[in-house]
Amino acid sequence: MPEPISAEKSTVVAESDFTEIVRRHQAMVYSIALHFLADPAAAEELAQDVFLQLHANLGRLKSGDHMKFWLRKVTGHRCIDFRRRRSLPQVSLDEAPESAAPTQTEDPMLSRRLRQLVASLPEKPRLIVILRYQEDMNAEDIAEVLAMPVATVKSHLQRSLAMLREKVTRAIGEVAI
Amino acid sequence: MNFDKDTNRMEDALKNALRRREAPEGFADRVLTRLAERSSATPMVLRHQPWLRLFAQPLVSWAAAAAVCAALVVGGIHYRNVQREHAEGEAAKQQLVLALRIAGSKLQLAKTRVQQVNANHTPADQTENQEEKE
Are A115 and A173 members of one domain?
Answer: yes
Closest CA to A36 of A120, A99, A98: A120
- B10 interface with A at CB cutoff 8 Å: yes
Looking at residue B107, its pLDDT comes to: 93
Q: Do A19 and A92 belong to one domain?
A: yes
Q: Identify whether residues A79 and A111 lie together within a single domain.
A: no
The torsion of the CA quartet A76, A78, A79, A82, rounded to 10 degrees, works out to 170
pLDDT at A175: 46
A99 contact residues in B (CB cutoff 8 A): 19-22
pLDDT at B48 over 80: no
- When CB atoms are compared, the residue of B14, B28, B38 closest to A114 is B14
Asked if B10 lies within 8 A of A168 by C-beta distance, the reply is yes
A33 and A78, same structural domain? yes
Closest residue of chain A to B56, computed from CA coordinates: A56
User: Which CATH number fits the domain that encloses residue A46?
Assistant: 1.10.1740.10
What is the number of structural domains in chain A? Answer: 2
Q: For testing the chain B interface, which of A134, A160, A167, A172 should be mutated: the one with the most B CBs within 10 Å?
A: A134
Given A56, A77, A98, which residue is the final one in a domain? Answer: A98
Chain A residue with the nearest C-alpha to that of B17:
A111
Residue A104 has pLDDT above 70, yes or no: no
Which of these, B28, B134, B133, lies nearest to A44 by C-alpha position? B28
A8: domain range? 1-98
Same domain, A133 and A53: no
Residue A6: what pLDDT? Answer: 45
Is the same domain home to A119 and A88?
A: no
Q: What's the burial of B106, exposed, middle or buried (CB within 10 Å: 0-12/13-18/19+)? A: exposed
Q: Report yes or no: A128 and A175 within 8 Å, Cβ to Cβ.
A: no
Same domain, A124 and A171: yes
A64 and A74 share a domain? Answer: yes
Instruction: Parse chain B into domains and list their residue ranges.
Output: 25-56
Span A120-174, pLDDT tens digits = 999 999 999 999 999 999 999 999 999 999 999 999 999 999 999 888 888 776 5
Residues forming beta bridges with residue B21, ordered by sequence position: A98
